[in-house]
Structure 1
């Protein structure tokens, strides 16, 4: 499929050059010097087009982009004329050219459109296809459309070409993205649009759609001008001729070639398409009574090819998952040589996504293929590619796990560059005496469990151990959360004492879960589970909203200057977090919101965290480093981030009066923080001696059971009332 696409691309370029040369010879495309005298270098052509048509042209916050946009800019770069580019919805773009508000638009040149437009020399070809929801891919050709609703962009080529009998089934779309969204939302069963743009939009907006038909309507692309606008048409033809000869067109085309080529269908999609063709082919063979011998030969060959396709990965030619499981199950159950296989290995190319981003998708494909060739060794009897750079294979008994990892992690020699694959590996020792219903699936599950542990702990490889298994109790706890969400959550408040003002005037918000069967749960029990499940942003927003609500109500009757909330580093990276916080603190008068973030949480994406915290600091929201001194980051983070406070961990505070080392650590930390213009809060203060010692060392704010335990909002209100 890839070879055919590249061949068609080369033929297309040759055809374009040939047509332009012929046009120049016969006077269709005239050289620049034959333009009218008023068409000098100061002339300007106003281009328009669709704002939702990647990779050809699209509009975002950074401006307009795409193959057509760059092609138009090449005209200006080569000095043919000045340009103006404005993108709109497709119907509006067509209207502007017809009304004279724009000069030219790139579109499919057809006889029906020639009544309104004059066309330049064609410079590209596109094809259309049918796109449907992935679970409803039933229409595979135009002729197969019956009563399905058809999403079509208003003014698009599909509108002109659809048979009259299907017109009543059209659902009009404003643009190419809207056409696909109508199908994804169930307002239409299928969309007919250009293949390249549709595939890009499906991937960009994560739409659950697939291409269900082979390409059809292969048509030329050209610049269209208003009917009778010969001046602009001549300018465009001359400019096209010039950039083809000078190589400018080829430069633009090569730059966009990776995005203009049709993506290869997966082996499953190809099999779906070819199955229908096969049925037709077999019917024709039976109809014309081909000789039995020839028919059998062809059938045997096709069956072998079909079996190979069904059992092998199309990228690496290794076994796919189903075939791998089937083959290894058969071996394990028969086990004629029980000592031959010792290891079951799952390995992942961890830096595959980084290679794709830094180089190209094709480079990542080559990396996967080279790694597959490496493990295609006699030492590895069964091997499979499970997809996305994840491999499974078995190893013979004379290799150790260390030797296996060393072998698979050495640099790979590729066509243009040498890349060191970053490999994570999970290993299971095969025990043929262990009787399992589906031994391969269980070995695979254990190996993946080990691999998950390796990646989460930033290691290279590990042998599977039962301790890696997820706790069933934790899984049930997470299930309870997904059912009840924050319904049983309670936000407690623990007052904080200000040494300078000699009074209680702030509090920290602390989360608790009143579980219906397990009772009161502390955050350490359930927060890590929620973080791993990716649901922490929802909890954090609930806590911030509730804390601000409490602070507003307390501030009406009591003197409270600050409310502290614990957040994670991942919360800072969440899109929309800053906007949510700024909207929530509206109306929070005379009370400052402070985010407490663990020291280790700031290490990842420090640049993004710095921008977020600086934005919040400008709006009066301060940042405190929680559990300071217990993490792995260096003191440089105190200068990198706009930190207003460090919070001494109870590990040091609890030993302040009994351990000289803890006293020295606390004393030096307070001195360092004050020299940097920061305040210091100590948590875990439980006795008067520790309180007096912290005051003597210059600690600014103190929190602990000596003053109050974390309490409900009602109890905190009573506490403030008694204190006052």
Structure 2
């Protein structure tokens, strides 16, 4: 009977181990195990009497199946370990109080209060060990009211304390003491793990035997102190790696002969029981009945265990998939793409082939979220992912926020991807279309070049994608000319550090052509950078606009100009100051309230806001309302760079502006190009007909000035009058009573 029981359980354990190893080896390949955790020194603890899993002998280091696994795991991660074996309860407490890092044990609900566990690496079962003189098969129920020895802190202790078997428990410090108490007939039985107890009995010549069928089949795992997630994940990664690379299998084969315990034969057990039997027929009948009963029980337990293993295997597969794939799109995630793309780069180098890396962004994803919600946005992202996943021989990944990266070695595939993302024939007219922008990097390495990392190829494709979005085209190929200026990145980084603290204002005067005196001044921002010197606004203003920081700069300029006007009265009393603002400023919901607050102590008609006309038409209705509000506060608006856009006439018709500022590109060739002359002449005439003031900027010589004067231009601005100067240098000009004609000789020299 014991033979039949033990052989069945052995079969069950073999099935379990066979299921576990292929699961680990079939995960996704060793290259997908994350080995990025920094190696460390790990202190393992365990029982000193637990052969062949772990044990110590006098003068020898710890050894056993678990000890070999621990050393192999540490070697795989470049870590070092220390193994300390002691009585079991002390080992448990040393992990709980932090003096040790990890321990191999049976996970349970009670232990989960104090430990976090890795995935299982071995399975064990418990049994009832009694004195060899006992010839009866036993169960836990048969032990009711009898003395049963258990080990302090062992799984059996908590399992029995919560049961109703009504046993008289005798707690021992070690597994060896538990078994010796049976051999010395101090207790009726000891409950312990079968494989280790049989080995201890052999090693120490104990007169005991296994008298029950195996029960409590449980997994064995590594445990760490509750909350030490980082170490738990590190041990899980180490364990997974030695399973995948075959090291686990080698270690198991080394210890297999000791791990597979050999029960005594059926005939020996039968001979020991023969004196109780009345006859051969009765014996065979009883054996047949018990055999069938036990077979049904074992088959039931085996089926239950196989279901648990199947569930565990599916969980392993799901865990491995989630570790390498995006949960929304089921495409590769960023890390998995980089790992696989590194291999493709090597293949490309060896075989002298091409490799294309494509970056894709769904540009309207934010608008879809704002209007239709996240569910609709996710549907759009998933639809794009399905299209990309339909291509064979490609690596497709989702980086999040509607950004995809695809790698292929086929030029036709690149064209097909661009085509399929532009084709919306699969959607009906009521559906929302994704609007993609695409960057392509064509990689072909030369023999003398160093192999780049995958992250560099992806960066270049994203650079091309950003360039395409900035230029409002669908597709852009990467070339070095579109690389972002490192100086711009430094400026933006420095702005985040110091804000507007390094900005200064310069002022450039404008003269009234009729009175030939300074009546207006334009405030121009400069960046006095400690490393780059005086930085032109043509370099940093577009950068701050693109990054969304221009609002802060504009408000700083307005405050500084108002402070300058208030601090230098009466020189500034009869002068109007122009400030450049952007469309983003003008349509900002809080802009009107901000202006209303800062101009309370100012003569408000001394301010003019200049806005580039090509930008205003994008937010025409909002801009029109804001301009009317500013007008009610005494602040007039000017159309800057007038004529450079494509809708100037519509601009004048729809928006409340008081003056137009001719673009300097017209002024530079005014007396050299007849066509330009006619454009400027007709523009001035049209503006005057609409009651608008005309300002010409970029006037650098007397000849241009004279032409503008003849055309009845109202004001001029440029180097002919003065270059932009600091605040202290503009004040003498404002105090001067001399007019332009009195300085004509001086200006002639300048021209």
TM-score by length of 1: 0.57
- Identify the residue that residue 721 of structure 2 maps to in structure 1: 707
Of residues 550, 562, 570 in structure 2, which corresponds to 1:556?
570
1:464: Cα distance to partner? Answer: 1.0
Of residues 446, 462, 484 in structure 1, which corresponds to 2:498?
484
Change (3 A) 1:416 1:359: farther
SS at match of 2:602: coil
2:631 matches 1:645: no
SS at match of 2:464: helix
1:576: Cα distance to partner? Answer: 1.6
SS at match of 2:618: coil
2:372 matches 1:352: no
1:678: Cα distance to partner? Answer: 0.9
Of residues 364, 376, 391 in structure 2, which corresponds to 1:363?
376
| Equivalent-residue separation in structure 1 for 2:482 and 2:346 (angstroms) | 27
1:298: Cα distance to partner? Answer: 3.2
1:499-551 deviation line (CA, Å, top 9, x unaligned): 34442222111112222233222211222222233221111111111112222
2:401 matches 1:388: yes
Correspondence list, 1:302-701, <5 A: 302-334=315-347, 338=351, 342-399=355-412, 401-411=414-424, 413-414=426-427, 417-431=430-444, 439-557=453-571, 559-589=573-603, 591-701=605-715
Correspondence list, 1:47-196, <5 A: none
- Identify the residue that residue 288 of structure 2 maps to in structure 1: none
| Equivalent-residue separation in structure 2 for 1:694 and 1:474 (angstroms) | 38
Show structure 2 runs of 5+ residues with no match. Answer: 1-111, 114-228, 237-300, 739-751
| Equivalent-residue separation in structure 2 for 1:524 and 1:316 (angstroms) | 42
1:625-664 deviation line (CA, Å, top 9, x unaligned): 1111123434201111101111112222232233322221
Change (3 A) 1:354 1:413: farther
| Equivalent-residue separation in structure 2 for 1:501 and 1:552 (angstroms) | 25
| Equivalent-residue separation in structure 1 for 2:605 and 2:372 (angstroms) | 50
| Equivalent-residue separation in structure 2 for 1:415 and 1:502 (angstroms) | 66
1:671-707 deviation line (CA, Å, top 9, x unaligned): 1111122110111223333323222211111222222
1:345: Cα distance to partner? Answer: 0.9
1:162-217 deviation line (CA, Å, top 9, x unaligned): xxxxxxxxxxxxxxxxxxxxxxxxxxxxxxxxxxxxxxxxxxxxxxxxxxxxxxxx
1:107-159 deviation line (CA, Å, top 9, x unaligned): xxxxxxxxxxxxxxxxxxxxxxxxxxxxxxxxxxxxx99xxxxxxxxxxxxxx
SS at match of 1:603: helix
- Identify the residue that residue 154 of structure 2 maps to in structure 1: none
- Identify the residue that residue 242 of structure 1 maps to in structure 2: none
Give RMSD over aligned pairs.
3.1
Change (3 A) 1:349 1:518: closer
Higher Rg: 2
Change (3 A) 1:461 1:389: same
Does structure 1 conserve the Cα–Cα contact (< 8 Å) formed by 2:338 and 2:455? yes
- Identify the residue that residue 202 of structure 2 maps to in structure 1: none
| Equivalent-residue separation in structure 2 for 1:297 and 1:349 (angstroms) | 40
Of the two structures, which has the highest relative contact order with CA contacts closer than 8 Å and spacing of 6 or more? Answer: 2
1:719: Cα distance to partner? Answer: 1.6
Change (3 A) 1:687 1:331: closer
| Equivalent-residue separation in structure 2 for 1:498 and 1:612 (angstroms) | 28
| Equivalent-residue separation in structure 1 for 2:719 and 2:411 (angstroms) | 61
| Equivalent-residue separation in structure 1 for 2:660 and 2:428 (angstroms) | 52
| Equivalent-residue separation in structure 1 for 2:501 and 2:369 (angstroms) | 43
1:580: Cα distance to partner? Answer: 1.3
| Equivalent-residue separation in structure 1 for 2:308 and 2:433 (angstroms) | 50
| Equivalent-residue separation in structure 2 for 1:500 and 1:311 (angstroms) | 74
1:253-274 deviation line (CA, Å, top 9, x unaligned): xxxxxxxxxxxxxxxxxxx9xx
Correspondence list, 1:260-275, <5 A: none
- Identify the residue that residue 730 of structure 2 maps to in structure 1: 716
| Equivalent-residue separation in structure 1 for 2:570 and 2:303 (angstroms) | 93
Does structure 2 conserve the Cα–Cα contact (< 8 Å) formed by 1:370 and 1:412? no
Change (3 A) 1:555 1:696: farther
Does structure 1 conserve the Cα–Cα contact (< 8 Å) formed by 2:604 and 2:635? no
- Identify the residue that residue 748 of structure 2 maps to in structure 1: none
| Equivalent-residue separation in structure 2 for 1:639 and 1:554 (angstroms) | 38
| Equivalent-residue separation in structure 1 for 2:316 and 2:390 (angstroms) | 27
1:433: Cα distance to partner? Answer: 5.3
Change (3 A) 1:590 1:622: closer
Change (3 A) 1:405 1:653: same
Does structure 1 conserve the Cα–Cα contact (< 8 Å) formed by 2:504 and 2:526? yes
SS at match of 2:557: helix
| Equivalent-residue separation in structure 1 for 2:604 and 2:570 (angstroms) | 10
| Equivalent-residue separation in structure 1 for 2:421 and 2:683 (angstroms) | 47
Change (3 A) 1:341 1:587: same
Does structure 2 conserve the Cα–Cα contact (< 8 Å) formed by 1:626 and 1:647? yes
- Identify the residue that residue 196 of structure 2 maps to in structure 1: none
Moved more, 459-468 or 646-655: 646-655
Moved more, 364-373 or 429-438: 429-438
SS at match of 1:347: strand
1:429: Cα distance to partner? Answer: 1.2
1:445: Cα distance to partner? Answer: 0.9
Change (3 A) 1:433 1:457: same
| Equivalent-residue separation in structure 2 for 1:335 and 1:702 (angstroms) | 62
Change (3 A) 1:382 1:654: closer
- Count of residues paired in the alignment: 444
1:63-102 deviation line (CA, Å, top 9, x unaligned): xxxxxxxxxxxxxxxxxxxxxxxxxxxxxxxxxxxxxxxx
Change (3 A) 1:535 1:364: closer
SS at match of 1:413: coil
SS at match of 1:711: coil
| Equivalent-residue separation in structure 2 for 1:392 and 1:412 (angstroms) | 23
SS at match of 2:563: helix
Change (3 A) 1:335 1:679: closer
Does structure 1 conserve the Cα–Cα contact (< 8 Å) formed by 2:439 and 2:477? yes
Show structure 1 runs of 5+ residues with no match. Answer: 1-143, 146-271, 280-287
SS at match of 1:307: helix
TM-score by length of 2: 0.55
